[in-house]
Amino acid sequence: MSKVFGIDLGTTYSCIAYIDPTDQAVVLKNTEGDLTTPSAVWFDTAEDVQVGISAKEAAKTDPEKVVTFIKRYIGQPGYVRNIDGVDLKPEEISSYILRKVVNDAEETLRMEGKLDDNEHINDVVITCPAYFGLAERTATETAGKLAGLNVLAIINEPTAAAISYGLSNDRAKTVLVYDLGGGTFDVTIVKVDGKQIRVVATGGDKELGGKDWDDRILTYLADEYKHQSGTNDEILDDEYATQELLLDVEKNKKLLTSKEKTPISINFKGNRQRIELTREKFDELTSDLVNRTISLTRQMFEEAAQKGFRESDIDEILLVGGSSRMPQIMKAVKEAFGKDVRMFDPDEAVAKGAAIYAAHLNEFNLAVEEIAAKEHKSVEEVKEEIDAGKLKIDTQSGLSTAPLSIVNVSSRTYGVRCIWDGKESLLNLIFKNQDLPAHGENTLYPVENNQRNARFEILESFASDEHCDPSVGTEIGHADLELPPGITQRTPIEVTFTLDESGLLKLKGVEKLKGRTVEASFETANAMSDIEMKEAVNRIQSSNIN
């Protein structure tokens, strides 16, 4: 069986894992000997791109050419980072991070004699925050393609962590996965029974993470420096000094997990000040951020209640993500929910779970291909028969799927803009936290007699009501249905949405006079164009990535 890999593409750190010859999920070291790689990219020259610790250090001396926290912008319409006159989209910048972790993993495996010189890492599962919408998921997949990878799936980070947890747990549990990373926060309720994973509800904030804790310390230190030095010097106005101080902030924040206080020395314009940062002060500066995570968790519980779930159903809370190591986090979560709280492999659980899922997909795909060849059918036909329950893979013949079952939920609500009761409305058909695959349908009517075209404008939102104001949504695409002559305002137009496990949304519209149909798939309205993809690939292939 070919090797497959799981990649945790993180906001601040990334890592890659695979299933080793003993069937254990293992995270692979990079060329620096570390299990995680900083998600920082330094475009030193057009041909020399540095990723990881060297890029983080370069931020002190060459900040305008260093990109960090790019995950916060992936899928965001119109966002580019201009480096030496070239506009780079988040997808392309992320691809350099992926290429770095993959290149390093190949080198590690070759050194261990587990990968031949002519073998390369190709098939991967990449993780993303659970609440990512179509635009972010599509952009993440595009980053993988730009890196030359075959992306088997994009899987939610908390789900990946739950998969890893399920294999290490010997009894069924309902767990709350509290995932506080460097740049994002996810919270998800998951029912785990070995390799049976069922997501109940998910929530979070893509702009809340360890970086925000760092920024609070940074602001505090800058203010204290002015106070102690008696100057009006604004350290944060100096990009070079800010980047150097940020590295000190990150280091000292980690020290506070085991110490009650830590000294920080600031040297700016020849003026040196020593500032003591205590854990108590740190907690005071960031208490509202912690409270924000608790509030988002309670909000998710309210949404889960609509599916008949109660907070008391939680057996255990798992803390994952590097930023969950902060002592204030475990304390706050325990106090808020009164449950058993444990730290679970915070840096590696997501990548390991993605690797396990990748192995499952690989085994399943190989089984399907073998059946298709034996029965002279296409792979698509066989998968459709399996989905419809018409075909079961014979586990006695060696064509068994990995004993892993995952039921996920939609991270967003999807609807169509329309006129309802005489005013413009967003009619929602698939709702946030609805089990996947999801299905929704309704009947609409032409606005006027003899209307010749019906445009379906598809909007994505976090709404929970069937009807709401379109302003709460973001358009992700549209489809046009040509209408036949004789259409009246009473002619039904049936519209159906389906959302699969990978996050692909499909629309079908049928007018009932002549049966004309429109079908469309929506990934994102602002995907990279073919020309942009080609230019990005050329830049990546001509670069030396270290």
Supply the DSSP string of 374-432, one letter for each residue.
HHT--HHHHHHHHHTTS----GGGT-PPPS-EEE-B-SSEEEEEEEETTEEEEEEEE-T
Amino acid at 70: I
pLDDT the model gives residue 130: 87
- Residue ranges of the chain that CATH labels 3.30.420.40: 5-156+530-545
Average pLDDT, rounded, for the chain: 89
CATH architecture for segment(s) 413-515:
Sandwich (2.60)
State yes or no: pLDDT of 526 exceeds 70.
no
Q: 281, 276, 273, 277: which is closest to 231 by C-alpha?
A: 273
| Lowest model confidence (mean pLDDT) among 107-116, 194-203, 218-227, 350-359 | 194-203
Which run of H or E residues covers position 158?
helix 157-168
Report the pLDDT averaged over residues 153-158: 91
User: How much is the pTM?
Assistant: 0.88
Q: Which residues contact 530 (CB under 8 A, 6 or more apart)?
A: none
Bigger pLDDT: 422 vs 440: 440
d(CA 247, CA 300): 34
Q: Which range in 21-25, 176-180, 234-238 is most confidently predicted, on average pLDDT?
A: 176-180
pLDDT the model gives residue 132: 87
- Strand bridging mode 316-320 / 173-180: parallel
Tokens of 540: 């990546």
pLDDT the model gives residue 296: 96
* pLDDT classification of 41: cutoffs 50, 70, 90: very high
Q: Which fold has domain 210-283?
A: Actin; Chain A, domain 4 (3.90.640)
- % pLDDT > 90, the chain: 59
Q: 501, 438, 436, 409: which is closest to 199 by C-alpha?
A: 409
pLDDT the model gives residue 352: 95
Angle at 475 between CA 469 and CA 481, to 5 degrees: 100
Judge whether 426 and 473 are in contact, CB under 8 Å. yes
Judge whether 235 and 222 are in contact, CB under 8 Å. yes
Report the pLDDT averaged over residues 269-283: 91
- Residue ranges of the chain that CATH labels 2.60.34.10: 413-515
Q: 20, 52, 49: which is closest to 33 by C-alpha?
A: 52
Would the CA dihedral through 73, 79, 84, 86 be positive or negative? Answer: positive
State yes or no: pLDDT of 395 exceeds 60.
no
- Classify domain 5-156+530-545 at the CATH class level: alpha beta
* pLDDT classification of 350: cutoffs 50, 70, 90: very high
pLDDT the model gives residue 382: 78
d(CA 391, CA 385): 5
Per the document, the length of the chain is 546
- Bridge partners of residue 509, in order along the sequence: 495, 518
* pLDDT classification of 90: cutoffs 50, 70, 90: very high
Q: Say whether 220 sits in a helix, a strand or coil.
A: helix
Q: 295, 347, 407: which is closest to 180 by C-alpha?
A: 347
* pLDDT classification of 279: cutoffs 50, 70, 90: very high
Q: Which residues contact 15 (CB under 8 A, 6 or more apart)?
A: 7, 8, 27, 28, 35, 36, 37, 101, 347, 348, 351
Q: Which residues contact 368 (CB under 8 A, 6 or more apart)?
A: 379, 382, 383, 386, 393
pLDDT the model gives residue 397: 35
pLDDT in tens, 508-518: 999 998 998 98
* pLDDT classification of 384: cutoffs 50, 70, 90: confident
* pLDDT classification of 389: cutoffs 50, 70, 90: low
Report the pLDDT averaged over residues 243-253: 90
* pLDDT classification of 398: cutoffs 50, 70, 90: very low
pLDDT in tens, 463-490: 999 999 999 998 888 889 999 998 999 9
State yes or no: pLDDT of 128 exceeds 70.
yes
pLDDT the model gives residue 355: 95
Which run of H or E residues covers position 150?
strand 150-156
Q: Which range in 28-32, 133-137, 244-248 is most confidently predicted, on average pLDDT?
A: 28-32
State yes or no: pLDDT of 109 exceeds 80.
yes
- Residue ranges of the chain that CATH labels 3.90.640.10: 210-283
Ordered DSSP codes for 268-303? ETTEEEEEEEEHHHHHHHHHHHHHHHHHHHHHHHHH
